[in-house]
Amino acid sequence: MAGAVAGLVILVLGDSHMADAKYLITPLHDALENAGATVHSYGMCGASADAWLQRTTVSCGRAQRHERQPAQTEANKQAYTWTINELIEKHHPNLVIVEAGDAMGGYGSPQLPKAWIYNQVHSLAGRIQAANASCIWVGPIWGAANSPYHKDDARVRELSQFLSQSVAPCSYVDSLQFARPGQWPTTDGQHLTSPGYQEWGRDIAGVVLQRAQIRR
């Protein structure tokens, strides 16, 4: 199965979970590179799906990583966004992995903003499809309600279920299946500790390799 992605160019896009070298941009990227893919990863703090559709700014930093190079991070600063069109033109990926959920969950608000989520998710997935690239969408992990992010289990479950029905033609990875609520500790109610990111990254990569094997 390790050869399932050998020779592929994989573009990974993510939110704050990909915007720090201690987060997902290290273990997920490494696992895909070790399986033989050429990987380009980008993370933008606070990025919902529509942040990748047009050039704007993010207020809390971003990160990028290319092949075997270390991650380049710009933490806690305003920075321009990368757009899906420019990244596809630059890297010509066979597969795009999108890790996006938390920035769209409306945690702490009475209702999940379904129409807003669907429109931007559908638009981003459509751009990827138009480039003739395969697409895998990674949903959110469990968090903690008693935190500034108000990430309670019921809303996370609702968000994950709605994303699973909205990301086509991308296939969906339900990250909630990887761990029980509270199994992976967080530092702030939303972001995991390093061991949690290591496990999450390996789990995502395992699903990617399995699906790539089936396609081939």
Average pLDDT value for residue range 86-102: 98
Q: Tell me the residue range of the domain where 69 lies.
A: 2-215
pLDDT mean over 48-53: 96
Quick one: pLDDT at residue 15?
Answer: 97
Q: What is the pLDDT of residues 111-140, one digit of tens each?
A: 999 999 999 999 999 999 999 999 999 999
Nearest-angstrom CA–CA distance, 101 and 48: 7
Q: Cα–Cα distance between 81 and 102 in angstroms, integer?
A: 18
- pLDDT over threshold 90, residue 83: yes
pLDDT of 79: 84
160: closest CA among 144, 174, 180, 171?
Answer: 174
Write the pLDDT tens digit of every residue in 155-189.
999 999 999 999 999 999 999 999 999 999 999 99
HSE-up of residue 191 (Cα within 13 Å, Cβ side) = 16
The pTM of the full predicted model, rounded to 2 decimals, is 0.96
Please name the residue ranges forming H helices in the chain: 27-34, 84-91, 114-130, 153-164, 194-215
Q: Cβ distance 43 to 19 under 8 Å?
A: yes
Kindly report whether the peptide bond that precedes residue 169 is cis, defined as omega within 30 degrees of 0: yes
Q: What whole-number distance in Å separates Cα of residue 111 and Cα of residue 113?
A: 6
Q: pLDDT at residue 108 above 80? A: yes
User: Is 216's pLDDT higher than 60?
Assistant: no
Query: What rounded mean pLDDT belongs to the chain?
Result: 95
* Domain count along the chain: 1
**CA 130 remoteness from chain centre:** 20
> For position 92, what pLDDT does the model report?
98
**Could you give the percent of the chain with pLDDT greater than 90?**
90
Give me the CATH number covering residue 81: 3.40.50.1110
